Structure 1
Amino acid sequence: MLAGRTKRAFSNGLVSIAGKLILMVAPFFLRTVIIAKLGIEYLGLNSLFSSLLSMLSLTELGFGSAVIFSMYKPMAEGNDQEVCALLNFYKNIYRAVGGIITVVGLVFLPFLKSFVASDYPENINIYIVYLIYLINTVVSYFLFAYKNSVFIASMRNDIDSIITTICHLAMYVAQIVVLLLVKNYYIYAVCLPLFTIINNIIKSYIVDKKYPQYRSKGSLTKEKKHDIITRVGALIGNKIGGVVFSSVDSIVISSFLGLAVLGKYSNYYLIFTSVSSFVAIAFSSIQAVIGNSMVCRDQNNNYKTFNELFFINIWITIFCSCCFACLYQPFIKIWVGEENQLSIIIVFLLVIYYFVRGIRQVGYTFKEAAGMWREDWLKPYISVIANLCLNIILVKVIGLSGVILSSVFALAFIELPWETRVLFKAYFKKSTRGYYARILKAVIVAVVSITISFLICNLLPESIIGLILRGLVCTVIPNLLIVLVYFRTEEFKSAKSRISEILKRKKSKSV
């Protein structure tokens, strides 16, 4: 059973990462066309509206996570009736959420200009564009988005990833064609809800064909509804925390610094999220597996798995942090020009931000898989308040650097230690001392790797050849240091053995 779960998780991760690789390239072409045809402010407008509507999506309150968590057990036990009742409950909740988002979104209309410092494009009606973005946000709630939970709970994230990749790629192509041929931002924006509808219809059709036993019908018992609502009560804060970190920064930047600065920052943040989402996708793919394992296996075995994943995550995080530090500026210069570069201070702050987010990933995934939302329900509220207050204070004092610093502070000194304490005390029932020692060790390796790589890369030109050479430096230095430091540890040996075992299975199956 464990081998099957591991195999499924590995397949989910590979397919999701392959899809992300494809979708990572398309936005760069799209943004290049937007800057050339429309201007950097339009990128800022995209980021602002996406962030505003992400805030409205808080109305969902985490029902999705709670329902998916509740599906693990009945799916494993073959209780189709309960899964159907959960789907029906989820569908009704989503349609109510869609209605609320529509109403609140319309209430925001008169205040749109207050979210822009001064430089919004004057040749378009931002209210019409906002309404198109609003339709794109709510349409999934009224259609079949609830059926996506079947893919996740049944560990078939790979199907979801393939459909999403195809639909998004088609949308990017359509948007680029529109901008090149007619240079019309309204038609460009209409592509968003159009392809969202297509995406929903395709996923709904495949769920119905592949899982005919799961239909949205029946009712949950009062006890089950109470359990889900109780979990949602604990999840509200976590949902708020997640949205704030991804949305409030953009709103603050636009409100205080303008759309042009937000447009430049969004280019950096696109690279940031494109890379970080690889790891997030991989862990999202195995979250159901971890949740299943927490039900079926003891804490010691799961702690061993935790340490393996933590080591693999450290390796990826250090390597990517090194690449960010050395490749950010030359890549931006080649891609959108020196005039759209931010300072090197912003680059290093983003490196620190990425590293802290990366280090937190494994503990967060295990806590989510265990459904431990009640145990740290207060954390996100404190984190959100601290982040928001620091955002507003520091952006006035040190500008864009203050926005990033506030997020780093909230993650490093509130989110990470709080989640670690909850996971280790409530589930593993172990001391956190060893875990923090491993984090400190990773920080030292990261600092040494980045310092050596950055000093070497500074000797290289900011050209395409220089970018390739910098990439080679970032490939050799951090990976060599990680192997030298960790090769004798149990986590290194265990992770190596686990990966080799999976690859052998894949090879023997293909033969």
Structure 2
Amino acid sequence: MAKESRVTKSLLNARMNLICYFVSLIAAFFTRKILLNYLGTEFIGFTGTLGSLLGFLNLAELGVGVAIGYVLYKPIFDDNKIKIEEVVSVFGYLYRIIGFFILGSGVILSCFLPLIFQDAEISLYVVYLGFYSYLFASLFGYFFNYRMSLLSADQRNYIVTGCFQLTNTTKVVLQMVLAYYTKNYYLFLLIELFTGILNSIILNHIIDKTYPWLESNIQRGKLLFKKYPEIGRYIKQLFVHKIAGFVQFQTLPLFIYSFVSLPMVAIYINYTLVTQRVQSLMNGVLDSTGAAVGNLISEGNRTKIFEVYKELFAIRAFVSGILACCVYHLISPFIILWLGEEYLLSNVVVILVSVQMYLFLLRGTTDQFLFGYGLFYDVWAPVTESVLFMLLTAIFGTYYGLPGVLAGPLGANLIIIYGWKPFFLFKKGFKKSVSNFYYLVLSHLLPTLLAYYSAVKVSNAMMSIIAIQFGWFNWFLTSVLFTISITIFLYLFAYPMSKGLRIATNRLLKKRIR
């Protein structure tokens, strides 16, 4: 395989993720209303419920893709094509097992569809066609698309992202047009199935062109699985990590319902809809460096590895600080314009939501290097985090309501994600004192707080001069002024304290000059 720059590939991945994010956002914005109007809220709700049901079935995959990606880093760096073929064959074998498990579970689940949708005014023919269309579309990934793991590990995930975005955008536009002219449920669902087939054909054609030497064999993968016992070990470890995060994410609304009220769940979700979009935007761009980190660690240069960690941490801290401050400063006025004042949450809750988002975004760099080093074996950590999450949430929620419920996961996060995880990485990976991590955190957190205070003063002063009273336009102008202000202030305040930010700046300037 031709050697290409890690930075070049990371930028390609980030650019493609960014483009696809906005394309999907625009497509969803324009198609959602037409689908609701012409197919009905009940049918669209039905398809959403199908997605959730299949999401639970797909829990069987948790950990396999990441484990295979980690095992591929070294042979990709060494250009060891024989080992790459072997690992991909093992992946095909494991995905075939998962595919049959999901298929069997899906068939069993389908027996209960009449009970699940007994109150829905939708024909059982439509229910079953919809369920099996979504099921078979997802199964293509397990039976035919498993080789795309090589593209991801080889930092070519932009190919996968672009392929799926092209076909999925075409799908939703076609579904919108047919819904407008025919209002036919069957056509909508058949297009869903056809898209899965088309995705598989295009992706496999691209893989054949990119890696013409690749010959994977699922039967051979069954025999080779014994040759790579570490894959099974990593899968078990990663499954615990992933399932713990899934459980926490799914149970938080239940805690809000239990300790506050059901209407408060809906009001809180309005805020998380915004923060999740922000998180998706940033993760789509910055998570594109994950395979590059694995490739870098395979190189074995400890000094270079730690320098890149500081650089990626600085970039992530810079962007996270801007986004968290923007969310805190702008989300309440946005909610007033979007839904009305009756949907506002208290300032304390907004602070907790913003801090939680900041910590979630900032952890990404440490997670990438933990995965790059293969440090998955601390399976007690996610279990402990989940126990702390439930315990602290229940205790604080009992006494403080919604702020208490949100303080629970925050406390668990600080203890495990910002206590144990950095210690684990710095001790086992970098072989350095964890004090380096906390210096990095403080050297970016303090400038962020100072930049927020300065940006508020400047943007408020400018808005008082402009004095525009039009609702949405006023909010948009405030957003632009505040975002520009905090970006400038944070860069000026963080640059002297952050070596990583200085390295990133020099790298960008050199690229511009070239």
**Normalized against structure 2, the TM-score is what?**
0.82
- Go from structure 1 to structure 2 and tell me whether the alpha carbon gap of 1:493 and 1:450 turns closer, same or farther (over 3 Å shift): closer
Deviation at 1:388, TM superposition (A): 5.0
Residue 303 of structure 2 corresponds to which residue in structure 1?
300
Structure 2 CA distance for aligned equivalents of residues 153 and 300 of structure 1? 23
Structure 2 CA distance for aligned equivalents of residues 471 and 450 of structure 1? 13
**SS of structure 1 residue aligned to 2:363:** helix
1:203 matched to 2:203: yes
| 2:503 paired residue among 475, 479, 494 | 494
Deviation at 1:454, TM superposition (A): 6.1
| 1:463 paired residue among 460, 467, 471 | 471
**56-65 or 310-319: which moved more?**
56-65
Residue 170 of structure 1 corresponds to which residue in structure 2?
170
Structure 1 CA distance for aligned equivalents of residues 184 and 265 of structure 2? 22
1:227 matched to 2:230: yes
Deviation at 1:255, TM superposition (A): 9.9
In the TM superposition, 1:224-263 aligns within 5 A as: 224-249=227-252
Deviation at 1:307, TM superposition (A): 0.7
**SS of structure 2 residue aligned to 1:145:** coil
- Go from structure 1 to structure 2 and tell me whether the alpha carbon gap of 1:193 and 1:356 turns closer, same or farther (over 3 Å shift): farther
**32-41 or 281-290: which moved more?**
32-41
**102-111 or 344-353: which moved more?**
102-111
**473-482 or 128-137: which moved more?**
128-137
**SS of structure 1 residue aligned to 2:320:** helix
The one-letter code sitting in structure 2 at the alignment partner of 1:232 is I
1:338 matched to 2:340: yes
Structure 1 CA distance for aligned equivalents of residues 343 and 42 of structure 2? 15
Structure 2 CA distance for aligned equivalents of residues 327 and 255 of structure 1? 29
1:413 matched to 2:410: no
Instruction: Tell me, yes or no, if the aligned pair for 2:314 and 2:444 is still in contact at 8 Å.
Output: no
- Go from structure 1 to structure 2 and tell me whether the alpha carbon gap of 1:200 and 1:54 turns closer, same or farther (over 3 Å shift): same
In the TM superposition, 1:342-421 aligns within 5 A as: 343=345, 347-374=350-377, 376-387=378-389, 404-421=406-423
- Go from structure 1 to structure 2 and tell me whether the alpha carbon gap of 1:478 and 1:41 turns closer, same or farther (over 3 Å shift): farther
| 1:482 paired residue among 490, 506, 513 | 490
Structure 2 CA distance for aligned equivalents of residues 265 and 31 of structure 1? 22
Structure 2 CA distance for aligned equivalents of residues 473 and 95 of structure 1? 52
The one-letter code sitting in structure 1 at the alignment partner of 2:506 is S
Instruction: Tell me, yes or no, if the aligned pair for 1:48 and 1:251 is still in contact at 8 Å.
Output: no
Residue 93 of structure 1 corresponds to which residue in structure 2?
94
Instruction: Tell me, yes or no, if the aligned pair for 1:15 and 1:161 is still in contact at 8 Å.
Output: yes
Structure 2 CA distance for aligned equivalents of residues 186 and 256 of structure 1? 42
Structure 2 CA distance for aligned equivalents of residues 371 and 142 of structure 1? 24
1:66 matched to 2:67: yes
The one-letter code sitting in structure 2 at the alignment partner of 1:298 is N
The one-letter code sitting in structure 2 at the alignment partner of 1:155 is Q
Residue 438 of structure 2 corresponds to which residue in structure 1?
436
- Deviations 1:136-188 (CA, angstroms, capped at 9, x unpaired): 67423443231211211222122112112212222332343355445567765
Residue 13 of structure 2 corresponds to which residue in structure 1?
12
The one-letter code sitting in structure 2 at the alignment partner of 1:57 is N
Q: Which has the higher contact order (CA 8 A, sep 6+)?
A: 1
Residue 131 of structure 1 corresponds to which residue in structure 2?
131
User: How many pairs were matched up?
Assistant: 500
**214-223 or 236-245: which moved more?**
214-223
| 2:285 paired residue among 273, 282, 285 | 282
- Deviations 1:402-423 (CA, angstroms, capped at 9, x unpaired): 6654443333332232221111
| 1:327 paired residue among 327, 330, 333 | 330
Structure 2 CA distance for aligned equivalents of residues 263 and 113 of structure 1? 28
Structure 2 CA distance for aligned equivalents of residues 42 and 251 of structure 1? 25
- Go from structure 1 to structure 2 and tell me whether the alpha carbon gap of 1:96 and 1:264 turns closer, same or farther (over 3 Å shift): farther
**472-481 or 306-315: which moved more?**
472-481
Structure 2 CA distance for aligned equivalents of residues 214 and 261 of structure 1? 53
Residue 509 of structure 1 corresponds to which residue in structure 2?
none
Structure 2 CA distance for aligned equivalents of residues 140 and 259 of structure 1? 38
Deviation at 1:435, TM superposition (A): 1.8
1:216 matched to 2:243: no
Q: Which runs of 5+ in 2 are unaligned?
A: none
The one-letter code sitting in structure 2 at the alignment partner of 1:4 is S
Deviation at 1:441, TM superposition (A): 4.2
The one-letter code sitting in structure 2 at the alignment partner of 1:317 is S
- Go from structure 1 to structure 2 and tell me whether the alpha carbon gap of 1:352 and 1:108 turns closer, same or farther (over 3 Å shift): farther
- Go from structure 1 to structure 2 and tell me whether the alpha carbon gap of 1:357 and 1:333 turns closer, same or farther (over 3 Å shift): same
- Go from structure 1 to structure 2 and tell me whether the alpha carbon gap of 1:141 and 1:203 turns closer, same or farther (over 3 Å shift): closer
Instruction: Tell me, yes or no, if the aligned pair for 1:66 and 1:232 is still in contact at 8 Å.
Output: yes
Instruction: Tell me, yes or no, if the aligned pair for 2:394 and 2:408 is still in contact at 8 Å.
Output: no
- Go from structure 1 to structure 2 and tell me whether the alpha carbon gap of 1:361 and 1:38 turns closer, same or farther (over 3 Å shift): same
The one-letter code sitting in structure 1 at the alignment partner of 2:90 is F
Deviation at 1:486, TM superposition (A): 1.7
The one-letter code sitting in structure 2 at the alignment partner of 1:420 is P
Instruction: Tell me, yes or no, if the aligned pair for 2:335 and 2:341 is still in contact at 8 Å.
Output: no
**390-399 or 196-205: which moved more?**
390-399
Structure 1 CA distance for aligned equivalents of residues 397 and 442 of structure 2? 30
Instruction: Tell me, yes or no, if the aligned pair for 1:395 and 1:403 is still in contact at 8 Å.
Output: yes
Q: Which runs of 5+ in 1 are unaligned?
A: 506-511
Structure 2 CA distance for aligned equivalents of residues 20 and 351 of structure 1? 22
Structure 1 CA distance for aligned equivalents of residues 326 and 449 of structure 2? 13
